[in-house]
Structure formats: C-alpha cells, structure tokens
Structure 1
C-alpha cells in the first residue's frame, strides 16, 4: 500500500509527521492488505491565521482495487488527533464498502432458496442443478 502525505502551507511537513501518518494508517487499515492500493492524506490548519482551536483538518482518500475511492474528513484541535480519528473513520468506511462489495459478490436469492421445494437450485449460484 502506497501512502502519500500532502500538507498545505499552514502545516510544516517533517519525517515524524510522515511516520505518524503511516503508523496510524497501517494500524487502522493494514488488514485490508492488497485491496487498498494507495492512500492520499491531506493535512491543513484552517484556522492558523486566526489562532483558533479546532481547525486542524485531515482528509484521507483510499484507492481500492475494483471500487470507487473512499474519502473521509476529520477536524480536531490537535493535528495528531485529527489523523487518528480520520484513520478510524477510514477503517469503518472500508469495512462498510468492502463488506457491501463482498455481499454483492456472494448474494444468494433468499426467494429462490425458499421456493425450492424439490431441491434442484444451487443456493450459491441461484441456478437450477439440472441446467447445463
């Protein structure tokens, strides 16, 4: 999985920040392995000029093979907290999206199985066992 960290002019990019982002992403979505090909992370401080709290923003976009990109946004007072929270959101979004994709691929028509009184329908394919 390739991880790209991007910052705007309000965030100072350094090696420790890159390592923190990689650690959070690997911990959150590492289990998806080869399904996620790339994660783009965009960091900014929307309120840096105003010296206000809560403006640290983290946007993560995961590229999944065979699926549309999945994007999450998070704001927090601390940059590290927004990264951690976004990692959790991304994990939940991937669980949901990839779960739907798996369900779609393994879909069994309940109606076909329920009405199959003579047992000639394969529940894994919804096809009649007598069909060639």
Structure 2
C-alpha cells in the first residue's frame, strides 16, 4: 500500500509531518495492506491565515484493488484532530466495504 501526503498552499508540509502521518496510516490500516493499493491524504486550511472553528480539513482517499476509490473528510481545529477523525472514518468504511464483499 502506497501512502501519499498532500497539503494545500495554506498548510506547511514537512518530512517529519509526512513520516508521522504515513506511519499512523500504515499502522492503523495494516490489515487492509493486501486489499488497498494506495492511500492519499489531503490536508487543507480553509480559512488560510485567519483563524476559525474547525477550519482544518483532512480528506483521506483509499483506492481498493479493482474497486472505486473511497473518500472521507473530517474538519477540526487542528490538523492532528482532523487526521485522527478521518483515519477512524476510513477504517470503519473499509471494514464495512470488505465485510460486505465476504457476504456475497
């Protein structure tokens, strides 16, 4: 599973940030490693330099093999909280998706 981290022009990306978020994705989604080819994470700050409530956005897109991409979004007041919420959502969504396949 390949992990790609993207930031918009309002979020400063760094190697340390990328390493941390990639590591968390690989740890939390390890059981889907053989079913998901790529995970893309998009971070954004919707208010730019201005502060605001829940203005940080994290979108996680999973690309399961031979299926349509699955995307979830979470808004929070920090990138870490937005990432954590989105990671929980994508884990639940992937679990549900692959469990449904087993039934058929």
The TM-score bracket by the shorter chain reads over 0.9
> 2:102 and 2:67 mapped to 1: Cα distance?
11
> 1:99 and 1:53 mapped to 2: Cα distance?
36
C-alpha displacement at 1:63, in angstroms? Answer: 0.5
Consecutive unaligned residues of structure 2, counting only runs of 5 or more, are none
Residue 24 of structure 1 contacts residue 83 of structure 1 at CA under 8 Å; is this kept in 2?
Answer: no
C-alpha displacement at 1:85, in angstroms? Answer: 1.2
Q: Report runs of 4+ in structure 1 exceeding 4 Å deviation.
A: none
Consecutive unaligned residues of structure 1, counting only runs of 5 or more, are 105-132
Residue 55 of structure 1 contacts residue 76 of structure 1 at CA under 8 Å; is this kept in 2?
Answer: yes
Name the larger-Rg structure. Answer: 1
Could you say what the CA RMSD is over the residues aligned between the two structures, in angstroms? 1.1
Of 43-52 and 71-80, the range deviating more from structure 2: 43-52
Paired residues, number: 104
C-alpha displacement at 1:20, in angstroms? Answer: 1.9
> Please, what TM-score do these two structures have when normalized by structure 1?
0.75
Q: Which residue of 2 aligns with 1:52?
A: 52
